[in-house]
Amino acid sequence: MSSIYEINKGINKPVEFKGFKGQYITYLAAGLVALLVLFAIGYIAGVSVYLCLVVVAACGFVLFSWVYRLSHKYGEHGLMVAAAFRQVPSAIICRNRNVFVRLLKRAHDDSDNDRNHGGGGSPAATTQRQQ
């Protein structure tokens, strides 16, 4: 009895495996490795094998349901977008307008330099304009 799992459904479509899309497959794999390590630590520490299995099974159920919920709530890239949106400040506080005055002055100076030191044309035409 062989099982065939379809991993990629086509060109320009997200990687999907059993309902998990994109980065959630990685999260699930990392969680399963962590569960394996948890079982190994419990077994080496002398905890009953049955207790280790129950704890790992319960944690595995929580892991699968959490990752499945995230995958369906946010989609392929939505979790990264949500995390980036949390990094955006709600307000920018500036108690002093000197920052903006300096930016305005720098922009004005740069535009003057652009007008004086090139704007296209041949070098001879630029020399004639400066005289």
N-to-C CA span, the chain:
89
Please tell me which of 2-11, 31-40, 76-85 the model is most confident about, judged by mean pLDDT.
31-40
Beta strand residue intervals within the chain, DSSP E: 16-17, 20-21
The C-alpha angle 4, 40, 66, rounded to 5 degrees, equals 55
Tens of pLDDT, residue by residue over 29-80, are 899 999 999 999 999 998 899 999 999 999 999 998 988 888 777 777 777 7
CA distance 28 to 30: 5
> What's the whole-model pTM score?
0.53
Residues 6 or more apart whose CB falls under 8 angstroms from that of 16 comprise 7, 8, 9
CB 27 within 8 A of CB 66: no
